[in-house]
Amino acid sequence: MDDSSLIDRFVDSLWLEAGLSENTQAAYRTDLRKLSKWLQQHNRCLRVVGRDELLAYLAEKMKKGSKSSSSARLLTTMRRFYRYLLREQIIDEDPTLKIEHPKVQRLLPSALSESEVDSLLNEPDKELEIEHRDAVMLEVLYASGLRVSELVGLRLEQLNLRQGVLRILGKGGKERLVPLGEAALEAIEGYLTAVRPLLVSDLQNPTVFPSMRGREMTRQTFWHRIKLYAQRSGIRKNITPHTLRHAFATHLVNHGADLRVVQLLLGHSDLSTTQIYTHVAKARLQRLHSQHHPRG
C-alpha cells in the first residue's frame, strides 16, 4: 500500500472514531503528505522509516524556522498515525516511541479586564439593527464562553429560553448544555422579538444571528466586527476570535469558580487545557501584589 492510501485510511479513521472536524483532518493530511514527500527524497516511505529519520525531519523543520509548538503538533500527528499503523498491523514497531516531545512555552491568553469587557459590550449602537445584533452576540459570547464558530453557527432549535440554556454541539460532536445569565437571556429575547425579524426574509431560516444577507455569518466577519468595537471603545489589546471566551474563563476563575465547572462550560475534553486559566489568575494576583503591596 502506498503512502497516499495509508494517509487516506488514517484520516478516514479519524473521522469515524473521533469525529474530528474537516479542518483538523486537513491538517493531519497536510502534515503527513509533507513527511511522505521528504521521506521519498531520502529513499524511504511512511511504512519503512525509523526513529532517526523522523528526528532528522523534525530537526530540519526546526532549522528552517519551525516553532517548537509547530514541531510538537507535528510529532502528535506522527504519533497518532504510527499508533494507527501499529494497531492495524501494518507495521511491527512504532518509530515515534522514544522521541521526546519538544518543550513548548505555554503563552497565557491575553484576557480583557472586566471594565474593558463592559466597554466592549456597551459600544454597539442598538438603534442600528446590525449593531444591535452584534451587541447581543457579544453579550452571549461573554456570558457563555462559546467558541466563535459555535456562536455564528447557532440555530434556533439550540435555544431553550425557558430553562435559560444553549445546547451546543462542540468539537468531536460532543454535546454540552451551557447556561446563560439573566443579562444575556434578556438580550436574546428582546433581539428575537424586535430585531431578528428585520434581518431575515425567510421565516424558515434557522440561523439565530444572520449576516446582512440573511445567511450564516463567517467567523472572520464576526472577528472584524469585534475588532471594530474594540477600536471604537479605545481598547488597544490584540483582539482574537477567542478574546471573550478567554475573558469568560479568566473572570470565572478569578471569582472562585471550580476549574472542572469551567472545563465543562468551555467544552474542553482535557482538564489540562483548562488549567492555563489558573496561571492567568495567579499572574493577575502577582501583578496586583507588586502594584499595591509596600514591599511588592
Q: Please state the rounded mean pLDDT for residues 103-122.
A: 73
Range of weakest confidence among 44-53, 217-226, 270-279: 270-279
When pLDDT is cut at 50, 70 and 90, the band that residue 274 belongs to is very low
Q: Which of 132, 196, 225, 268 is catalytic?
A: 268
Asked if residue 66 has pLDDT above 80, the reply is no
Q: Determine whether 292 is an active site residue.
A: no
Residue 205 · residue 214 · CB < 8 Å:
yes
Q: Which of 133, 147, 246, 251 is catalytic?
A: 147
Q: Which tens digits make up the pLDDT trace of 195-252?
A: 999 998 887 899 999 998 888 899 889 989 989 999 999 988 888 767 777 776 776 7
CB 51: neighbour CB atoms within 10 A? 14
Q: Please state the rounded mean pLDDT for residues 67-71.
A: 75
Amino acid 259: pLDDT: 58
Task: Find all residues with CB under 8 Å of 26, minimum gap 6, and list them.
Answer: none
Task: Find all residues with CB under 8 Å of 203, minimum gap 6, and list them.
Answer: none
Q: Which of 132, 133, 245, 246 is catalytic?
A: 245
Amino acid 289: pLDDT: 39
**Of the ranges 92-101, 107-116, 164-173, the best mean pLDDT one:** 92-101
When pLDDT is cut at 50, 70 and 90, the band that residue 36 belongs to is very high
**Percent with pLDDT over 90 in the chain:** 31
User: What cell was used for 286?
Assistant: 502577582
Task: For residue 175, give the 3-state DSSP assignment.
Answer: strand
Alpha-carbon distance values, 19 to 24, 82, 152, 176 (Å) = 10, 19, 20, 16
Q: What is the 8-class DSSP label of residue 295?
A: T
Task: Find all residues with CB under 8 Å of 22, minimum gap 6, and list them.
Answer: none
* More confidently predicted of 285 and 251: 251
Q: Which tens digits make up the pLDDT trace of 9-34?
A: 999 888 777 777 788 888 899 999 99
CA distance 10 to 282: 41
Q: Determine whether 268 is an active site residue.
A: yes
What residue segments make up the domains of the chain, in order of their start? Answer: 3-87, 114-292
Q: Which of 171, 176, 219, 284 is catalytic?
A: 171
Residue 167 · residue 175 · CB < 8 Å:
yes
Q: Determine whether 242 is an active site residue.
A: yes
- Would you say the pTM of this structure is higher than 0.85? no
Amino acid 145: pLDDT: 79
Asked if residue 275 has pLDDT above 70, the reply is no
CA 82 to chain centre: 26
Amino acid 282: pLDDT: 47
Asked if residue 110 has pLDDT above 70, the reply is no
Amino acid 122: pLDDT: 92
Task: Find all residues with CB under 8 Å of 206, minimum gap 6, and list them.
Answer: 155, 156, 157
Amino acid 288: pLDDT: 42
User: What cell was used for 33?
Assistant: 503528505
The per-residue pLDDT of the chain, averaged, comes to 81
Q: Please state the rounded mean pLDDT for residues 166-176.
A: 76
Q: Which of 133, 242, 246, 251 is catalytic?
A: 242
**Percent with pLDDT over 70 in the chain:** 78
Q: Which tens digits make up the pLDDT trace of 146-159?
A: 888 889 999 999 99
Asked if residue 111 has pLDDT above 60, the reply is yes
Query: Topology of 3-87 in CATH?
Result: DNA polymerase; domain 1 (1.10.150)
In degrees and rounded to multiples of 5, residue 259 shows phi and psi of -60, -35
In degrees and rounded to multiples of 5, residue 270 shows phi and psi of -125, 130
Query: Topology of 114-292 in CATH?
Result: hpI Integrase; Chain A (1.10.443)
Amino acid 215: pLDDT: 86
